[in-house]
Structure 1
Amino acid sequence: MMTSNGQLHKIQRMWKLRKKIYYRMLDTDAALTLGTALLVGIGAGFGAVIFRRLIESIHQFSFSDVPSFLGLDFPLHLLLMPALGGLVVGPLVYYYAREAKGHGVPEVMEALELRGGIIRPRVVLIKALASSVCIGTGGSVGREGPIAQIGSAIGSVVGQVLKLPKERIRTLVACGAAGGVAATFNAPIAGAIFALEVLLRRFGSLYFGAVVISAVTADVIAHYFEGDQRAFLVPDYSLISGWELLFYTLLGLLSAAGGVIFYRLLYYSEDAWARLRFPEPLKPVLGGIILGMVGIYTFQLDGVPRIFGVGYSTIEEALSGNMMLEMALALLVLKLFSTTLTLGSGGSGGIFAPSLFMGAMLGCGYGHLVHSLFPGFTAPAGAYALVGMAAFFSGAAHAPITAVFILFEMTGQYEIIMPLMITSVISTLISRGFSRDSIYTLKLKRRGVVLQQDQHDIDLMQGIFAGEAMNRYPETVTMDMPLDHLMEEFARTHYQALPVVDAQKRLNGIVNIRSMDQLQVQEGLDEKTVSDIADILDLPSVHSNDPLWMVLRHLEEHGGGCVPVIKSDKDPKLLGVLRRIDIIRAYNKVITRKASQQHQEEMLTLRHLNQAGLMQVQISKKSPLVGMKVRELELGEDSLLVSIRRRNKLRVVRGDTVLQAEDQVMIFAEHPRESQLRERLNGNNIVPEGSSETIPVKHREVVIPSGKGASGMLVKDLNLPENCVLVRILRGEEVILPRGNTRLQGEDRVEIVGHEEQLLQAESCLAA
């Protein structure tokens, strides 16, 4: 019995030691990051397997089970199935998760740049269902974008559940995308490179390790369920002659042009469908009908609707050299139309597989041509199809490293790696010459989000636009205004430049005080008008949706005192004016917005605390806290110092606020206990007997009525109950952190926390 008890005691000691070591390992940033990356990789791996099985099941159901059950003639169901798929996808995306529309990767990039990687959990389900239905019923899109977004959403959800900082959530989002791509295409290295090159746009060692672990983990899971086989079975190709590199270079040029045409047509299609007056949830149905017609046409060509779905079998046929020149070029055009149609009308799917398809067709057709002209020192058409796949994707996505690695892993063709790299790099460089934006970043730019190359965080000045910062009621002059009157305007406004408009408020030019001074010295002002000195050529102007960095660039390049904001290039109606003072105000505004967003996140966290309460603590004269700054306190992660009441005046807490004797501090804690606070605050006399009480906290939002209640009052003059705290002011779309000299306005929405009974009294004080 003693031996048994001794063994039990030994096991308990070993278990405690194991737990101690385990938690100590979790304390390190690297271990936590890599551990969560492993978890995300598992989720992404299973997600990719389920997503792939779902596509196969829906395809089988749509093109085999349903036609045989309904007795449909063969061509008829090619028209019907894409439309039925659109009938499911349209409402699903429109009503439940609109970010699931389209090809997915730009939405992930937007979440990384603007929301710290926060993606709604429902995106996992909605994107998986919408994309699998779209692809399974014939949508001319791929799996890469959806699985990248699904994996990213899984990573984001893991980070949110574990309450990780946003920087770690960003890393997990990239890990999810890497795992999804790796498991889908049996390409772990390419999955990791995709996450680093396209999403994070940096190659730090910790990020690299995390995404590699996630990608390899997801790939292992996919191998277990799907087997270890490459996406394409390709004959062995190699570089026949050094002269052949010239032909590959020309293929890179053609692929760059093809990639640019592809994504410009894609967004032209989106704009055209957006202008179409038709119910938004039903647009994919209309697109599906048109796609079905194209499918019937391709079926009549050779008995296979080749533009439906991802088209891997058709790609493999081109890689084997069995695709004829005329068929390859025809499928290139038809696939371009079908993909832009599917995505433009509201379908859900990726652009990677269509890019590979079009690149293979372009390369195959080009390969047939050069091989027929120079058979002695050129490879077969299949080699050019393989290289064209990487080059076309590089031209569209500006991601040559990803293109090279993913094609290498999908085909296993190492011998042709040199043409693959050269052509991909050339295609990327030429494509960037056409446009600095890729197929991914252009979608963000159209939404007003401009990403800088090799930049970790989006510039703060890109978070606010010209239309938001401009002066909407600018001082203007007309062309026929005499110059002596103009001089009076300059003296009255103290501006260095003024916009010149006509009777319809259309911008005609800008007049600068320097031109006025020069004319006054040379010729005088008699009988002269604004038209004699106004600048009417090369006017620096912007649109209301342009970011402020563009305004700064205009001010630096032109040196003028103002930049007009016009409606459009075709309709130059003056909407407002931006000057340096407006930009400074906008910069201060965006800084405040960023701080208020952080404050809002803290408040949202506080609202979800269980059994939360406020505790009032009076600091005694002998307390070691006297003279300390708030930032130096160590209250613990479950407590927050909310306010300080000093001589019956409520003070807003800041990090550099110095505590004084007799201060009454309000502490918001999940489990407020007097003894624990004494220990954390490290002072036995901090909380006198009877001075601490626990108050169940409630939250309430009060609208300040115009001209009544607290409208026009300063925060410091509010007569709020003792245990109520004003935590935030919402003014329109602006979030304001309350300070003592903040003046409340009518229609302000203020948030207060405190005891329920006192909240009623506070509401009466604010709104009565």
Structure 2
Amino acid sequence: MWGRPLIYGFSVALLGVIWPDSLGTGLGFLNGLLELHDAGTYVWWSLGLVALAKILTSVLTREGGGSAGEFMASLVVGGSLGAAFAIVVETYGGLDSVDIGAFTVVGMAAVLATTARAPLTSVILVFELTGNYGLVLPLMLVAGLATFLSDRLHPESAYSAKLLREGIRLPTSEDIDLLDTVRVETVMQPHGGGLRPWNTLAEAAEYFDVTTHHGAPVFDDQDRLIGILTLSDVSDSGGPSMSATVADAMTRDVITITSDAPVASALARMASLGVGRLPVVATEDSRRVVGMFRRVSVVRAYEEALSMSKGKELYRERTRIRSQPGADFFDMSIVEGSPLANQDVAHIQWPEDLVLVSVQRGTAVLVPHGDTMIRIGDRLTVFGTPEARDEILHTPQVRE
């Protein structure tokens, strides 16, 4: 029980004897580096070893059951590496004077941005800690680049990785916006034809009355999209007329959306332009209309997204049940007087850790849905834990 903490604690103490700057917060060590204008007594490899020792002492402390934060540790590692790099440049690069303190600040921001995946926060915190506001552009450039590269090498920050190991995943913006999960092609309406540039505005108004739409695409003689006409365009052109044509009133610069785009993008485009519809075009041909995205499509998209979200919740619930100790399949029969008889599946209060798999009715095997009615004589196959099995089998008139 005490062996592991003692071994790791002794290892940390040994590293601290060799490299005292690797212990504690390292604030005094960092202040010394920030005041350096030349290498002084430091050599680049000694600072590299301090950075390595700081990493080892932090890891060993946590593995031994102790507490070691990421914030100051990342600053010490970054400051040490930044100062070491400056000394290398000054020694081997032929430069007469290098501001080692400036490189220390940049190194601190880079490693903190990598650890926390928060570039702007890292820059601001380093500003506040050092009081050095003369390195704005280098700090922002290095912090942004460090975050960009670390995201591609390891997607989790030091903080979110801890939660992930505990089975907790923080939601992203994609998780939050349901409309990002539905594509336009899923909810778009067939364009149902459209108007031609030679149609009169009176014919266009009649088309709108018949279809109940407030806008329609305009096609040339080869069915290529050349414009869009709305009721507002007809009204702005003097109303229905047999002398004015669609070509005179239509909008020629058409804003479209591709069929594979998420509904959230289409909705944002409609909102920014103040329009109520978008022609949906093929991905490979921006003039070939495959449908129309209208306001009613947004309602359908929400219904689709909620359905998908509910399906994912059910999947996660079934996965949770399958991982329960002792969970297995078992059968049960519905006999006369059972409280489950003549009830829809959706209205039955099933035990929490139980899933209905199938309903055998005579020689037929039914896949149960919410509106499937359980009848006398049915044989149910369910999957669940032993506790759920006992609970359902103790329901009156249910037999195994």
Residues 564 and 628 (structure 1 numbering): CA distance in 2 closer, same or farther, change over 3 Å?
closer
Residues 550 and 607 (structure 1 numbering): CA distance in 2 closer, same or farther, change over 3 Å?
same
Deviation at 1:498, TM superposition (A): 1.1
| Structure-1 separation of matches of 2:328 and 2:320 | 11
| Matched AA of 2:397 | I
Contact map agreement 1:497 1:560 (CA 8 A) in 2: no
| Structure-2 separation of matches of 1:665 and 1:188 | 62
Of the candidates 668, 672, 681, which is equivalent to residue 382 of structure 2? 668
| Matched AA of 2:292 | V
Contact map agreement 2:327 2:386 (CA 8 A) in 1: no
| Matched AA of 1:401 | T
Deviation at 1:461, TM superposition (A): 0.5
Question: Alignment identity in percent?
Answer: 16
Of the candidates 474, 478, 491, which is equivalent to residue 209 of structure 2? 491
Structure number with higher helix proportion: 1
Cα deviation 1:411-460 (Å, max 9, x = unaligned) = xxx996333799499939x98xxxxx9778999xxxxxxxxx98593311
| Structure-2 separation of matches of 1:384 and 1:464 | 49
Of the candidates 501, 507, 525, which is equivalent to residue 241 of structure 2? 525
1:510 and 2:379 correspond: no
Of the candidates 172, 177, 186, which is equivalent to residue 55 of structure 2? 186
Cα deviation 1:586-623 (Å, max 9, x = unaligned) = 33223323333444556667889989434123255376
Residues 599 and 678 (structure 1 numbering): CA distance in 2 closer, same or farther, change over 3 Å?
closer
1:536 and 2:252 correspond: yes
Aligned to 1:319: 86
1:591 and 2:306 correspond: yes
| Structure-1 separation of matches of 2:361 and 2:280 | 49
| Structure-2 separation of matches of 1:480 and 1:324 | 79
Structure number with higher strand proportion: 2
Contact map agreement 1:678 1:686 (CA 8 A) in 2: no
Q: Which secondary structure does the structure 2 equivalent of 1:457 belong to?
A: helix
| Structure-1 separation of matches of 2:78 and 2:183 | 47
| Structure-2 separation of matches of 1:564 and 1:231 | 55
Residues 215 and 552 (structure 1 numbering): CA distance in 2 closer, same or farther, change over 3 Å?
farther
Q: Which secondary structure does the structure 2 equivalent of 1:320 belong to?
A: helix
| Structure-1 separation of matches of 2:60 and 2:261 | 38
**How do 1:68-467 and structure 2 match up within 5 A?**
186=55, 217=62, 231=77, 234=80, 316-320=83-87, 322-323=89-90, 381-389=99-107, 399-402=119-122, 417-419=130-132, 423=136, 427=140, 457-467=175-185
Report how many residues are paired. 321
Q: Which secondary structure does the structure 2 equivalent of 1:186 belong to?
A: helix
Deviation at 1:512, TM superposition (A): 0.4
1:549 and 2:316 correspond: no
TM-score (norm 2): 0.56
| Structure-2 separation of matches of 1:644 and 1:569 | 47
Contact map agreement 1:404 1:420 (CA 8 A) in 2: no
| Structure-1 separation of matches of 2:60 and 2:229 | 59
Residues 590 and 487 (structure 1 numbering): CA distance in 2 closer, same or farther, change over 3 Å?
same
Deviation at 1:473, TM superposition (A): 5.0
Residues 387 and 542 (structure 1 numbering): CA distance in 2 closer, same or farther, change over 3 Å?
farther
Residues 492 and 419 (structure 1 numbering): CA distance in 2 closer, same or farther, change over 3 Å?
same
Deviation at 1:462, TM superposition (A): 0.5
Cα deviation 1:121-167 (Å, max 9, x = unaligned) = xxxxxxxxxxxxxxxxxxxxxxxxxxxxxxxxxxxxxxxxxxxxxxx
Residues 607 and 543 (structure 1 numbering): CA distance in 2 closer, same or farther, change over 3 Å?
same
| Structure-2 separation of matches of 1:184 and 1:544 | 55
Q: Which secondary structure does the structure 1 equivalent of 2:309 belong to?
A: helix
Deviation at 1:645, TM superposition (A): 7.7
Deviation at 1:525, TM superposition (A): 1.4
| Structure-1 separation of matches of 2:190 and 2:52 | 53
Aligned to 1:470: 188
Deviation at 1:387, TM superposition (A): 3.1
Q: Which secondary structure does the structure 1 equivalent of 2:244 belong to?
A: coil
1:686 and 2:400 correspond: no
Structure (1 or 2) with the larger CA radius of gyration? 2
Return 5+ residue gaps in structure 2 as ranges.
Answer: 1-50, 154-170
Contact map agreement 1:465 1:545 (CA 8 A) in 2: yes
| Matched AA of 1:417 | T
1:481 and 2:199 correspond: yes
Residues 322 and 439 (structure 1 numbering): CA distance in 2 closer, same or farther, change over 3 Å?
closer
